[in-house]
Amino acid sequence: MACSCYSVNFMSVSSNPNKPLTSSPLVTSKLSPSYSQIPFSSLNFNQNLSRTQLRKSKNAPNSFVVVSGIKAEPLKVMISGAPASGKGTQCELITKKYDLVHIAAGDLLRAEVAAGTENGRRAKEYMEKGQLVPDEIVVTMVKERLLQPDSQEKGWLLDGYPRSSSQATALKGFGFQPDIFILLEVPEEILVERVVGRRLDPVTGKIYHLKYSPPETEEIAARLTQRFDDTEEKVKLRLLTHNKNVEAVLSMYGDITVRVDGTLSKEDVFTRIDAALRNLLGQRQASIDLKYSKTVVNE
């Protein structure tokens, strides 16, 4: 974080609060002569800036000093959940509200393969053989995406990754540490019911559920298909793998893990996630305010 201190010189102000200023105030930087005169209106006080603190100047009645204008670190979030836990829906809601960069390892793999990159070509060789893509390839893809300017500036939401302690260790080695690890918890019997009842409309690509989200018409119902791995036997095997891996990952992020009941409605699940994220931002803001509220600006 960087603190910027400015002397803000206001022009004469009318006693009538509805009367606009006749000229724009200027900001005089105390830190660098290259910023000697900056229009106050050009300062961008967005949601990433701390509460701006103004102290009235002792020497000039129409002058204030901006004690802090600190850009907070962007949010870094990881979210994990078993198949059919509702993770995809929550990722959409989180990125929509917090404008984070959504990063999913599966999407990165498909994009790299489609683009024909070196990593993509290496990954494709394993995928065509039905083998898992080695960690070193996937970690490299994730690392490169996290280093992109938009991820660095806006913050990121890492979806379903890392999936093992080795992947988590590799990310930590590259300097990527989340602020919070969100875990969606849903009992196995409910997850199995959600998966087995899923159906795909091959025409529109829309996903239905025979119980929770049935097709609108009989015509649509007649053409629905089931994924080959959406069977009870296969989903239980996937859940066994997921549970084993997630416990290993949790051992590294236990102190920042927030467990959320995924059996609730999607709105209620997001309410709980949103509360956790707002609490995190609130604590961060309070820490910044406490640190800089004690700052004394010497004119």
Which residues are known to be catalytic? Answer: 87, 163, 198, 227, 238
Residue type, 19: K
Distances (CA, A) of 36 to 9, 26, 113, 199: 12, 9, 51, 64
Give me the count of residues in the chain: 299
Backbone angles phi, psi at 137, to 5 degrees: -75, -45
Instruction: Tell which residue, 162, 175, 157, 174, has the closest CA to residue 75.
Output: 157
Ramachandran region of residue 205, left (φ > 0), alpha (ψ -120 to 50) or beta?
left
Burial of 200 per CB tally in 10 Å (0-12, 13-18, 19+): middle
Measured distance CA(249)–CA(161) in Å, rounded: 9
Burial 17-42 (b: 16+ CB within 10 A, else e): eeeeeeeebbbebeeeeeeeeeeeee
Residues whose CB is less than 8 angstroms from the CB of residue 273 and which lie 6 or more positions away in sequence, other chains included: 90, 93, 94, 182, 258, 260
Q: Reduce the DSSP state of residue 6 to 3 states and report it.
A: strand
Q: Which residues of 231-255 are buried (b: 16+ CB within 10 A; e: fewer)?
A: eeeebeebbeebeebbeebbebbee
User: Quick one: which of 39, 103, 111, 109 has its CA closest to 76?
Assistant: 103
